[in-house]
Amino acid sequence: MFDLTGKVALITGGASGIGAAAVRLFHQLGASVTIGDIQAEASEALVSELGDRIRFSRLDVTKAADWERTVAETEAAFGPVNVLVNNAGHPGHWKPMGDMTLEEYRMVCAINQDGVFLGTKTVVPSMLRAGGGSIVNNSSGYGLVGAANNMDYCASKFAVTGMTKAAAIELAPSKIRVNSVHAGVVLTPMVEATMKQLGSDADIFIARMPLNRGAAPSEIASVFAFLASDAASFVTGAALPADGGLTAQ
């Protein structure tokens, strides 16, 4: 596995699902980690579980002030941030666009898209002090292909894909790499709740993936770890599918 010794990482949405798997893995691989999340109880439980080199900062990714405080607290505790994982997200409302309100659409974009913009913008000065870094954006397979009744989610995740490429070009001279990860169905509590809501219609999402199964959160966390590590030192601007073959079709 990859070595993250000496890395200072901020992982958003780190209290559960893919984020929690990433927190555990990054910590195991030697990084100091801040969990940025609005779920205080679950985050504090993870801090207690892991012990040293781990902390929690309450972070609503749609709030610029929260980002500024969280980055400052992380740097004060561990040193300049050199890894940001923009993982926090909303699964969308899963309804026909004709039934979706503008408020619903904007709410999903605020979390999934604005959160990435704010995080990237805010962390750059700290990464410059670190001499460079890696930003990993959790997009989606549905940031590369479309899905019916999923306008809000697809729009926000396609935006993340484009934002990643733009930021990678802009930040390359500063030795900051920016990449996106595009998962298929990952069996997190959030996704399982969505699939329960969809009922039998959820089967189609598994069936669309040639591997014919959902991923464990740890399988996506390991991709994050690769992109965060020096093993990926020549990888930037990439849209890396980890989607069971969804986008290969």
Is 153 noted as a catalytic residue in this protein?
Answer: yes
Alpha-carbon distance of 69 to 53, in angstroms, equals: 19
The SS3 assignment for 154 reads helix
Cβ-Cβ contacts under 8 Å for 100 (sequence gap 6 or more)? 93, 151, 152
Beta bridge partners of 57: 36
Rounded distance, CA 46 to CA 24, Å? 8
Token duo for residue 103: 């408020």
From the list 151, 141, 131, the residue with the least C-alpha distance to 242 is 141
Any idea what DSSP says for residue 108? H
- Give the C-alpha separation, 220 to 201, whole Å: 24
Nearest to 1 by CA among 235, 242, 234, 226: 226
Catalytic, out of 56, 153, 158, 224: 153
8-12, strands of its sheet edge to edge: 54-58, 32-37, 8-12, 83-86, 133-138, 176-183, 239-242
Residues labelled as active-site residues: 153
